[in-house]
Amino acid sequence: SAALDALRRKALQPFDDSDPRHLLALETLWHCAFPGGLHPQPFERTSKQWSQLGFQGLDPCTDLRGGGYLALEHLLKFVVGARGEFDPSLPPAIASINCTAMLTRHFGLSPTLVLPFPGGTSTGQAECPTAALHALLEHHHRGTDALQALHAALLSHLMRAWASLAQERPARTMLDFPVALGRTFQQLCAAVARAPPATDWLQSVSQRLELDSGAAAPALLTAHDCCAHPGAVLALLLLLLRAAT
């Protein structure tokens, strides 16, 4: 449909550093993340300071190539809402970009996108039911940014899953992050599958994500599972969320 095609174009739009709108969003992200008090810090396209937000290099555009402009939009809205209050053990950029990737993959907006964590491609639920996709498109047709709303709920769930993992493994490190990602993706698949395709579909999915504690359940991944995916950790930390060719 035309609505699906339009949403796919949005999801697949790459970050373009020659587009003034894209650069303005990046500059806004800088000023929101590093306000500088009474003396705002001048915007720096390349800077070591980007690492404080979770980017892996001096140039954030390198990491955004995987998630595109949509990932930047989602991250910016999260940073604005968080008001600088981040879990220091979980880099916001890594968490947010991965949540964007989960959503675009699950709703078939980036059908060839690789989710490089345990369960990202083997759950049997990689793509959502047709009725759920129609519900998502209907919300966007009515002017509701359903993807943004789901991103906020999904990112909140990921943070709780990460905190829960610390209780299971007191020595938790970023090497355990793929486990939290896998649990969060499984919960997204379950929440979307169980929500009735009614007018309150978006609220139902969001509530199912918000109400879940993020703790491990018998059917969910354990920290040991990431050992079966030796390339997952490196891929995550470098944000290699790229489309298969």
Mean pLDDT of the chain: 82
Q: In whole angstroms, what is the distance from residue 196 CA to residue 42 CA?
A: 48
Query: What is the pLDDT confidence band of residue 124, given thresholds at 50, 70 and 90?
Result: low
Q: 28-42, 108-122, 166-180, 204-218: which range is least confident on average?
A: 204-218
* Better-predicted residue by pLDDT, 241 or 157: 157
Say yes or no to pLDDT of 239 above 50. Answer: no
Say yes or no to pLDDT of 191 above 80. Answer: yes
Q: Sign of torsion, CA 38 43 48 53?
A: positive
Query: What is the pLDDT confidence band of residue 75, given thresholds at 50, 70 and 90?
Result: very high
Which of 73, 215, 106, 205 minimizes the C-alpha distance to 158? 215
Say yes or no to pLDDT of 171 above 70. Answer: yes
pTM to 2 decimal places? 0.84
What sections of 39-91 are H helices per DSSP? 60-82
**How far are the Cα atoms of 7, 85, 150, 215, 233 from residue 224, in angstroms, in the given order?**
37, 30, 29, 15, 13
Say yes or no to pLDDT of 97 above 90. Answer: yes
Other Cβ atoms within 10 Å of 69 Cβ, number: 20
Query: Given this model, what pLDDT does residue 223 score?
Result: 40
Average pLDDT over residues 226-237: 35
Tokens representing residue 190 in the block: 């379950």
Average pLDDT over residues 38-51: 88
What is the DSSP-derived secondary structure letter of residue 244? -
Query: What is the pLDDT confidence band of residue 241, given thresholds at 50, 70 and 90?
Result: very low
Query: What is the pLDDT confidence band of residue 234, given thresholds at 50, 70 and 90?
Result: very low
Average pLDDT over residues 56-79: 90
